[in-house]
Amino acid sequence: AVGDDKALAAFTEDHRVEAVPHRELDSLDAGPYGVLHDPVLGYLGALGDCGRWHLDWPHVYARPTTAGLAFTLLRQASPRFVDVVPAGGVRGEIAFCPRHGTPVVLA
């Protein structure tokens, strides 16, 4: 289940629910697990079992800019968020995970 604390509290004791740490771009760590989240853009990716922060690449595009990493939501209709620089601008790069072959955030 994905959601804030209030949404997770709606589950009954019959369902095992574990809160996963939300990390913003400027506070990425080595896990062992977590989701990459921005207050404006929402969920951008998650920490993979390989220890790298994977983008939700079917829904999120990212690229380095002079202001920092910029994110575009690919499936958002209105308003469309293009090249949003979260967390005041965090330097980094986008690379491919050698294990999974999908884009990861290196910040």
Residue 59: what pLDDT? 95
**pLDDT tens column, 29-77:** 888 889 999 999 999 999 999 999 999 999 999 999 999 999 999 988 7
Query: Which candidate, 35, 27, 38, places its Cα nearest to that of 54?
Result: 35
What are the CA-CA distances from residue 69 to residues 4, 20, 61, 72, 100 (Å)? 25, 24, 10, 10, 21
Is the pTM here over 0.75, yes or no?
Answer: yes
Give the SS3 label for residue 26. Answer: helix
Number of Cβ within 10 Å of residue 44's Cβ equals: 24
